[in-house]
Amino acid sequence: MRMHMNIMGLALALVTNPALAAVTDAVATRPMGDQVQIDWKAPGAVDVYLAYKPDAGISDAALVSGKDKDGKALVKVDPAKRPYFLLRDAADGSVTEVAERSVPLAQGSNFRDIGGYATADGRHVRWGLIYRSGASAMLTPDDLAKVNALGLRNMVDLRSDEERVLAPSKIDGVAYSAVGYSMTALMAGMNSGTPQNGVAIYHGFPKMLAPQLRIVFDLLKRGQGPIEYNCSAGQDRTGFTTALILSALGVPHETIIQDYHLSVTYRRPQYEMPRIDLARYPDNAAAQMFGRFQDNPAMRVAQPLKEADGTPYLKGAFDEIDAKWGSVDAYLEQELGVTAADREELRRRYLR
């Protein structure tokens, strides 16, 4: 297993007043199921507040560590809720918000918040509104309680018909959208899982996933969040979708690539699809493919999402967009109907 429940990953800080902020490099990690470790850098004392809703203000939060000077605090949290932390510099009053990047699920894979990332103009993506994930077919009752606590209003399933039948989501009570297509549309480029095949698959994403992306952006434009979107591993189709959302919000390309590669850390392949009995599906090509993946030791751990020379597979999708549309903005507008005015509204709604 690449990641255990008690080592839940890195989070990026969101500064409510970047011009005044003295706190830097704030991260949240989970060493234990009911404790979160907050680390930061600051020249002086910091007050640490805990809240259970995104975009909480100091008045909505509880002080858990006052005038802390050692740059760290271990905070006990409600394990069934998603915690958010406000770090207020005691000298200038500036506030930095930080949360865990990953939602700590016992049998989930790659379920994470895309909040906290800085844009080119110094704003930050709001926490708790946009989640990306792998499949949710094996979540435990406790996992489902944690997901329910996120207050999701919409899910968009990027998976094929075959995947959704083989591993239906356990998340109920959330408006659900999917676009039917066969896994054979992807399997043509998925033979051995080599980097070359990976790049070929990504070149097809801008056209193949356009119907699903129109749904995602329509929900975002209408403020129908919190939203979750997913594929099986939460890395390829989900990674492309995330790259477009962050691009539309003005997040730099380097940050988008860093987020993309986090799937190698946060994936847990054993919890993405129930065990497949190949004998039950002799004529189902998708089931045969996923079953062979399950029998392949190399595929039981997340593989790097890059070519041998370090080029990320995601570049294939961006190259395709540049070649056929000229730019990401042009693709968003011409293929997905996301205009310049829409992008400004998205930034007003999802940045702070």
Cα separation, 80 vs 82, whole angstroms: 7
* 121, 88: one domain: no
Enclosing domain of residue 157:
112-350
The answer on 271 and 122 residing in a single domain is yes
Residue 64, phi-psi category: left (phi > 0), alpha (psi -120 to 50), beta (remainder): alpha
Distance of CA 261 to the CA centre of its chain: 11
Q: Report the distance separating Cα 211 and Cα 214, nearest Å.
A: 5
Separation of CA 104 from chain center: 13
219 backbone φψ class: left, alpha, beta (φ>0; ψ -120 to 50)? alpha
Give CA–CA dist 88/94, Å, rounded: 6
Asked whether residue 105 is domain-assigned, the answer is no
Report the distance separating Cα 314 and Cα 325, nearest Å.
16
User: Which sequence positions are flagged as catalytic?
Assistant: 231
Is residue 188, in this structure, part of any structural domain at all? Answer: yes
Whether 163 and 305 share a structural domain: yes
Peptide bond into 269 cis (omega under 30): no
Last residue of a domain, one of 64, 99, 134: 99
Residue 216 sits in the same domain as residue 244: yes
Q: Residues 171, 266: one domain?
A: yes
Q: With respect to residue 4, please indicate whether it lies within any of the assigned structural domains.
A: no
CATH number at residue 195: 3.90.190.10
Q: Which of 99, 122, 149 is the last residue of a domain?
A: 99
Which pLDDT score, from 0 to 100, does residue 87 have? 97
- 84 with 121, same domain: the answer is no
Specify if 247 maps to a domain. yes
- Check whether residue 226 and residue 331 sit in a common domain: yes
Give the CA dihedral 236, 244, 112, 345, nearest 10 degrees.
-160
Same domain, 133 and 241: yes
Q: Is residue 258 part of a domain?
A: yes
Q: Is residue 169 part of a domain?
A: yes
Provide the CATH number for the domain around residue 73.
2.60.40.10
Same domain, yes or no: 274 and 182: yes
Matching residue, tokens 């020379």? 309
Please, what are the averages of pLDDT over each run of 10 residues along the chain (352 residues)? 38 50 87 94 96 94 96 96 96 94 97 96 95 98 96 97 95 97 74 53 94 98 98 97 98 98 97 92 84 82 91 96 98 98 98 94
In a domain, 173, yes or no: yes
CA distance 2 to 217: 32
Same-domain pairing of 217 and 324: yes
Residue 210 burial class via C-beta count within 10 angstroms: exposed 0-12, middle 13-18, buried 19 and up:
middle
Is 132 within 8 Å of 62 (Cβ atoms)? Answer: no
Rounded Cα distance, 98 and 96, in Å: 7
Same domain, yes or no: 18 and 70: yes
Report pTM. Answer: 0.91
pLDDT of residue 16: 53
Last residue of a domain, one of 50, 65, 99: 99
Number of domains present in the structure of the chain: 2
- Together in a domain, 29 and 120: no
Which backbone phi and psi does 3 adopt, to 5 degrees? -150, 135
204 lies in a domain? Answer: yes
